[in-house]
Structures are given as structure tokens and as C-alpha cells.
Structure 1
Amino acid sequence: MVGPDLYMDEITLRVSTCTRDSNPSAGEPTYYASNGRDITGWTSLRVSRGIERCPSDFEVSFTEPYPGVSQVIVQPGDLVQVLLGSDVVLTGFVDRYLPSYNAREHTIRITGRSKCQDLVDCSAKWTGGQLLNLTVDQIAKQLCAVYGIDVNVASGTAIGDPIPQLNIMVGEPVYEVLERICRYRALLLYDQPDGSLLLANGGAGSGSIGTRKASSGFTEGVNVTSAGGMYSMDGRFSDYDAVYQGLDTFQDIGDGGNLIAHVTDPGVPRLRYRAIVSENVAGGSTVAQQRANWELAARMGRSMQVRLSTDSWRDSSGTLYEPNTLVDIDLPGLKLTPKTWLIADVTYLRNEQGTRADLTIMPPQAFYQEPVTLYPIAPDINTVSGANS
């Protein structure tokens, strides 16, 4: 067991003042950073990161007797790094500075999000609004460079062939553009502690989902302070039919242009039928099959999850628990046989009740990406297999 006394990490905010750079070089930050300072002594912390959370976010605060509180100097818009011990867990910007007081004490609360907040909040900016013959990572790097955000590809990730044409709608946020093309290539996208954006494969057999395993897991009675499970059937179906609706629905022969793909979930104990209209493109039977496989895998994966709390932010080797990390769980009190599942979301917490990490853990299948096609032409197909593993 890793107790809080072994790794009692200090909470540090490394803050710098930002001044806008009106003429930055391509890919460089759009601001100058100055007046760097480290601020410690925080008594309350929450940092949340997840494989489907973008951007990551944080909140810190401290309370002290009213005199002397003005020594803390933080402004909305400041560049900030959040450190737990010596580990950076978030790099971004201060969103809000929230001071308050009463007759007994003065409280300062600061909230912020990672650099990728600019991808979620701000519109894509690209002359002409069209990109041609570029791979997903090339598109991401060009759109993110406008806001000075780096893009990386996880080791083992298959990016796929170039996308012939991508049209960006006026006002469309960068993240929405990237999320759309990442689903097309069955990729996940989420931010990293340094503020960069990471692209990773989200299908069976990929090289970038669950590539790291925590050196210690979670065992009932050892390092789990509380746990809850969710095993659901309301989102699962016994039979899935994916229907490809052809461009010409007035054929005189055959099925009128519709091609059917069928998959079953043997874990559903009664008939529950689900029909899905797949993509309206040539090559539809293959697309429909992959669409049905994804529907089965994702619904099955999300029907099982564990939420637990542990009294440390770190595993037995001293490494922080992080999203996209495999972890062993042994929780017989939840009627769950030992499993190796994936950390989907982690929140590091410290307050008057102590230090803990809250984690959401699911089967890896929950993070297979939905295969989509962008245009009504012959598509590339992303394989989603192993749905019943």
C-alpha cells in the first residue's frame, strides 16, 4: 500500500504573466511570458484529467486569517503549471481568480484549464477554410499552430492516409473540426500535462490504448477507501442491424439499395433489437459492418465501470495514476472478478479531509472510436474487432 505519508506531494502553481505577441511565428505561442513565480501553501486542490476530457481543469484555494493575504499575486489569463511534487500535471491558463472573505478569514480560489481550452473555445482560423490532401495529424498541427499548441501522435498509432478535402465551417471550433476527422480515422484526442494535444488509436489491436500498466492496482481492503460499480443493461442490445441506405433508393431489384450488417451481443439475456442507419456512401456493407461492431463494443464497454477512491495519487513505484493506463482491480465486494481495465478519468484531490485520487475505470472497449465517413465516396474503413473479448 502506498500511504499518504510516503508521497506527501507539495502543491505548486508555477505562474507567469502573459502579454500578447501580435506577430508570433507560426506554431509559436501568441504571448510573451514574464515574471515567473512559484506559489505554494495551497490547502485545497482538484485537478481532473481524462481520456475523453479536453481540456483538463483545476481548482486550488487556501484560507487564512485576513491580514497578509495580498501576497498571492495571480491574474486571470496568467500562464500556469500545476505541479504535484515534481510532476507537472497540467499546463494552461488561469481562468478565474475568486477572492472572498468573512469576519474570520480570507479565501482565495483559482480555477483554470489546460492550453487546449483555446481549441475548445476558439474558432478554427484558416485562410479559405479548406485543407487538401493532408493526414489527420498534419491537419491538427496546422490548425493548432495558430494558437501555439503542439500536437503529438502516440507511439504505435496508425494515422491513416491523407484526407482528400476538409471544409471548415465559419465559426467552427478547432476541437470540433479535429474531433470529426479523428472519428473518421478512429482516433482519440486529449490533452497532455504539458498542454499539448495527443492523438491515439481507439480501436482493438491499436498500439496506443493502454500501452502502460500501473505497477500496482486496486485491491479491496488494501488501498481502496471507497468503491462503487455500475453494471447496466439498459444501454445494451442483443441484436444490431446496421443499414446502409444507398444513394439510389428506387432500385427495381434487390433491397432498394440498403445493405444489412448484423452482429449480436451474447451477454444480453433477451431480445433487444437495435437498428442503425450507417453512412450514406459507396462500399456501404463494409462500413455498416464496422458501424455495427463499434456500436456493440462501445455499448458493452460502457455498461461496466468502477468508480473508486484511493488514499494516494501514486502507484507503488511512485508514478502518478494517469488516464489511458491499464490497472488491475480486485473488488469482490462489487461482485466483480479480478480484471485489468483502463483508467478513463482521474481527479487528484486534497482538502481538509486529506489526500485522495478518484478514478473511473472501464474496459478498454469503451474507448473504441465510432467509424464515420466524411464524404459520399468510397471510404477508408477502420476495423473494430474483439468486441466480445
Structure 2
Amino acid sequence: MQPENEVTLSVGGHDYGGWLDVSISAGLERQARDFTVGVTWQWPGSSEVPVRIEQGEAVEVRIGADLLITGYVFSTPISYDSKMIKLSIAGRSKTADLVDCAAINSPGQWRGQSVQKIVEALAGEYGIKVINQSATTLGLDDHTIEPGETAFESIDRLLSLSRLFSTDDGQGRLVMASPGAAGRAVDRLVLGENILNADTELDFSSVYSEYISRGQRKGTDDSFGTQATEVKASVKDERVKRRRVKVIYQSGQMTTKMARDRVEWERGNAMSRAMLVNYVVKGWRQSSGELWRHNMIVRVVDPLIGLDRDMLIIEIKYELTEAGTLAKMALAPPDGFLPEPNDAYERRKLKKGKNTDNFEYLIPADYKP
């Protein structure tokens, strides 16, 4: 394998490589990256001794010089038969503790603080630093930990209100993600050039003609009665021709603006998810030498599916198998992942000609944040 694609585990002051099987996954909607690597030995008669790595050890995972994961070893499966032994090492990002462990802040209530400050407090209990890529600075009247919820469940409730995603980075930090923050890919994904295979459901069953958000808040001297207890907002999607209504019940201290922003975000996000496509390309790196990464904007030219547009890589998996190195990606239009409503649909100007995108009547092909 070329040095720039060598997968290295750094554990206990030692670097381990030479893996025969590799799987490393990351995503815009995944709170914790994960990895699994494996190697086999022939026996009997082999003088090689399996690498002994303890569960719970701190680990760094790199592809070449690129740091992909900072976290911990969670498991070390071993299997064998009469011919060979296989050792695997699996682990996750530091942020896995937020997914697995309880929200333990005491007192578990915040009043009049920003979303970022509350997220920092929840993550800080487990030594996790927080990076905010978004300009959103939403403040909340009140946030209270619910009995039995994990730290991430509490964080996720917060970020749902502000239409943000929570993921991690290579250093094991929690990232309040801004879609497209990884930049624009140098290469395009083009049918007949670098796309090995693809699949898509084009499933529009979760797209609706109207989205309604309902919630409530505690009354104040200026806001009381039904104005406080019945917070509601709705938005229609004229692209759906028959009546289909979705109602979203939101917890926490709602305001009319928060409810309105949520339904507009739901409308855009549902349409983007309906157009999700999975692609597989040979190799982990682009022609520039840069890794393919999630949260990148990439131009997709696939006349078979009908795409000629900018797409967002929302999830990626780096795989090494007998077939070689493969990058498996899930992509969707980026417009529906923005924290603020995007009116690009209303501003769109349909192109004319043979090479137009088949879905431009739904979402503009040229992404303009």
C-alpha cells in the first residue's frame, strides 16, 4: 500500500500498521466516528504473536498523515479455526461517551443561556471540547435535563431547536456543524469516470405538503394564556400536489420564531433526504491528494439517475478489503441541511438543454449558501 494510504493505529506509544481489513466511518449526523481494523495469521507453525491492545486504551487512527479519529479502543474480537487466526480492533471517537453515558450535570437546568454554552456544559462533564462552525447563537429561556437521557440526547434536543447538526472531528471534539464546512471537493463524481457503483431509493414518502410545529412555553408578564401554552407555526410546500400534513411536537421553551424556523427547516430537509444517493469510488483520495471527506460539497454528474448538481457528502466510509481501497459515500442536496431557511427554490431559474438536472424543478442544481 502507498504510504499516504497506510492506516496506522497509535496506542500506548506504539504505532501499528499492516492491516488487511479496514473500515473507518464518519458522518454529518453521526456523533461519534468509528473504526475496525483486522489482520490474520497462518497457524500452526507461525511464529507471529497477535498484537495485544487493551480495551479502553486511548487511540489515534490515521490514514497517512491525516488524523481521522481520536478516541478509545472498545473491543478486540478474536476468531480462529484450524488454519488461521484473525484479530480485529474496534473503537470510536471520544464523543462516543456522550452517546453512551448519562447527562449528569448538577443542577441540570439552564436559564437564559446560549445553546453553545449549554452544549459545552453537557459535553464538558466527559472532557469533550466543543467547536461551533455555525454563526447561530440562539438563546434559550430554559433547558432542563430529562430523567434518564444521555448527554447526546440532551444535546440533540438543543440542536433540533436551532436546526444544527452535532458531529465530531479527528481530534475527538464535538462539532456544532455547518453544512459544507469541509469545503468543495477538487474532483467531481462522474458516471463513467470515477463512480464504481451507485444506488438510490428516490423515496419521497417523507415529503409533505404542509408542516406544522406545535409546542409551549411558560407564561410571563408579557406572554401568557394561549399565547404561551399554544405555540404554533406552519408552512406549505407547493411542490407536493396532494394534501399531506406532518405535525411536529417540540419540547423545550418554544417561541413563535423557533417554531416557524423549524417547519421551514423540516420542509427543506425532507426534500433533500428524498434525493439521497449512495456512491462508491476507487481510492480514498482525490486527484489533489486530499481525502474525500464528509461535509464536502461535490459536483455530481450522473445522467443515469438524472443528476448534474452540487451535492453534500453527509456520510463516508473508508474501506480496505480484497477489492482494494474504496470510499463509500452518502450524498444529498445541501440546501436542506442549512440551519437557516434557504429560499433558493423560490429564486431558481430553470436551465434548458440536454444536460439539465432532472430534479431542478425541486431543488436548484447550483448550490448557493
User: What letter matches 1:149 in structure 2?
Assistant: I
Amino acid at match of 1:79: A
Aligned pair partner of 1:159 in 136, 157, 173: 136
Question: CA contact under 8 A between 1:46 and 1:59: conserved in structure 2?
Answer: yes
**Deviation per residue, 1:288-311 (Å, 9 max, x gap):** 543432232111111101111101
Q: Whole-Å Cα distance in 1 between the matches of residues 130 and 231 of structure 2? A: 40
Question: Deviation string for 1:19-48 (max 9, x for gaps)?
Answer: xxxxxxxxxxxxxxxxx1101111100001
Q: 1:359 deviation in Å?
A: 0.3
Letter matched to residue 45 of structure 1: V
Residues 58-88 of structure 1: CA deviation (Å, up to 9, x unaligned): 1110112133342512111111111111111
In the TM superposition, what is the alpha-carbon distance from 1:341 to its structure 2 partner? Answer: 0.6
Match of 2:310 in 1: 340
Query: TM-score normalised to the size of structure 1?
Result: 0.78
Moved more, 232-241 or 216-225: 232-241
* 1:220 alignment partner in structure 2: 191
Question: Partner letter of residue 315 of structure 2?
Answer: D
CA separation in 2, counterparts of 1:54 and 1:283? Answer: 25
Alignment of 1:136 onto 2:115: yes
1:71–1:313 Cα change, 3 Å: same
Partner of residue 264, structure 2: 293
Aligned counterparts of 2:122 and 2:258: Cα–Cα separation in 1: 28
Q: Distance in 1 between matches of 2:28 and 2:173?
A: 14
Matched AA of 2:326 = R
Aligned residue identity for 1:342:
L
Aligned counterpart for 1:175 among listed residues 127, 149, 152: 152
Please report the RMSD computed on the Cα atoms of aligned residues, expressed in angstroms. 2.9
1:326 aligned to 2:297? yes
Q: 1:139 to 1:238 in 2, by over 3 A?
A: closer
* Partners of 1:143 and 1:6 in 2: CA distance: 41
Partner-residue secondary structure (3-state), 1:143: helix
The change in CA–CA distance for 1:166 and 1:246 in structure 2 (over 3 A counts) is closer
Distance in structure 2 (CA, Å) of the matches to 1:283 and 1:118: 29
How many residues matched?
336
Matched, 1:261 2:234: yes
1:27-42 to structure 2, matched below 5 A, reads 36-42=13-19
2:95 corresponds to which of 104, 109, 116:
116
Q: What is the CA–CA distance in structure 1 between the aligned matches of 2:316 and 2:248, rounded to whole Å?
A: 35
Identity of aligned residues (%): 29
Aligned residues of 1:210 and 1:364 also touching (Cα < 8 A): no
Q: Which residue of 2 aligns with 1:352?
A: 322
Looking at structure 2, the residues matched to 319 and 75 of structure 1 have their Cα atoms a distance apart, in angstroms, of 32
Name the residue aligned to 1:386.
Answer: 343
User: Is structure 2 residue 335 aligned with structure 1 residue 365?
Assistant: yes
1:346 maps to a residue whose letter is I
Q: Is the 8 A contact 2:71 2:91 kept in 1?
A: yes
TM-score (norm 2): 0.82
- What 5-or-longer segments of structure 1 have no aligned partner? 17-35, 202-207, 249-256, 370-382
Q: Quick one: structure 1 residues 142 and 240, their matched pair in 2 at CA, closer, same or farther if it must change by over 3 Å?
A: closer
Q: Do the aligned partners of residues 226 and 108 (structure 1) sit closer, same or farther apart at CA in structure 2, a change above 3 Å counting? A: same
